[in-house]
Structure 1
Amino acid sequence: IEFVELSPNKPPKGTKTLSLVVKGKETFRLGDCKYNVLAVKETFKNGAGETLDSFTALYAPDLQAALARRYDEGTSSEAVNGYETIKPLAE
């Protein structure tokens, strides 16, 4: 997906590219609950093709939300940043 990042006070600095690749299905624990999630590799690149950011989003289709992001996957620096709890907007 090619896009231009807009800012109200600055002109665009060129195009960026977002690449999405579904890597597979996993189970993700959030509090006392388990959710079936899709592991989606997201890579952002600038117009020159240099990687700006890359992570794996853990997307729960049932909730229509990403529950966590996994950085530096497969390395000793691997880290998961995600929600600790979730609750309904209204009961």
Structure 2
Amino acid sequence: MIAVANKYESDSPQTQYLYAGLIEVFRDSDTGRLSMIPLGDLKKLFPLKAGAKSKTEFVRLSSKKAPKGTETLALAVKGKDSYKLGDCKYNVLVVGETITGDSGAIIDSFTALYSPDLQAVLARRYDEGTSAQSEVGFETIKPLKE
């Protein structure tokens, strides 16, 4: 499990907990908490390999909203790349992540640059392949204190 601390200009800081550094299972912030309860075995999705595609179902639980059915997370490993973080360069897998609701409507979609060696996402790309494409990378990665 990996903890990721995010700070955005407009929102309060949040901490995300990611299974294998890729799949969000819990989020905590001043504005609320959110759990993504997997309905399948997440271990079966790993290790990731180029060309791999997989799906798993979740229930989204929040203290402020009742669940609205299940959601499906689809992972598609599009290929390999490298990503520079600070003075280091890492080999990453380019992983498309799409979350859909019961009706099939897309709730969220982005591309994760995932380092299997670190078991962590180093950056995310949004609106990939469009003129609005953007990339949000992490500034630092450090181990959690034990």
Kindly indicate whether structure 1 or structure 2 has the higher relative contact order, using CA contacts under 8 Å at least 6 residues apart. Answer: 1
TM-score by length of 2: 0.57
1:18 corresponds to: 73
Q: How does 1:1-91 map to 2 (within 5 A)?
A: 1-8=56-63, 10-89=65-144
The whole-number CA distance in structure 2 between the counterparts of 1:76 and 1:9 is 35
Structure 1 residues 22-75: Cα deviation after superposition (integer angstroms, max 9, x where no partner) = 000100011111000000000001110001110000100111101110001111
What amino acid does structure 1 have at the position aligned with 2:72? T
Aligned residues: 90
**Runs ≥4 in structure 1, deviation > 4 angstroms?**
none
How far the C-alpha of 1:10 sits from its partner, in A, is: 4.1
**Which shows bigger deviation, 79-88 or 30-39?**
79-88
Q: Which runs of 5+ in 1 are unaligned?
A: none
For the aligned residue pairs, the C-alpha RMSD in angstroms reads 1.5
Q: Which runs of 5+ in 2 are unaligned?
A: 1-55
Classify the secondary structure of the residue corresponding to 2:61: coil
TM-score by length of 1: 0.89
What amino acid does structure 2 have at the position aligned with 1:59? Y
Describe the shift of the 1:9–1:85 C-alpha distance in structure 2 as closer, same or farther (beyond 3 A).
closer
Identity across matched positions, percent: 66
The whole-number CA distance in structure 1 between the counterparts of 2:71 and 2:139 is 31
What amino acid does structure 2 have at the position aligned with 1:72? D
2:35 corresponds to: none
Classify the secondary structure of the residue corresponding to 1:58: strand
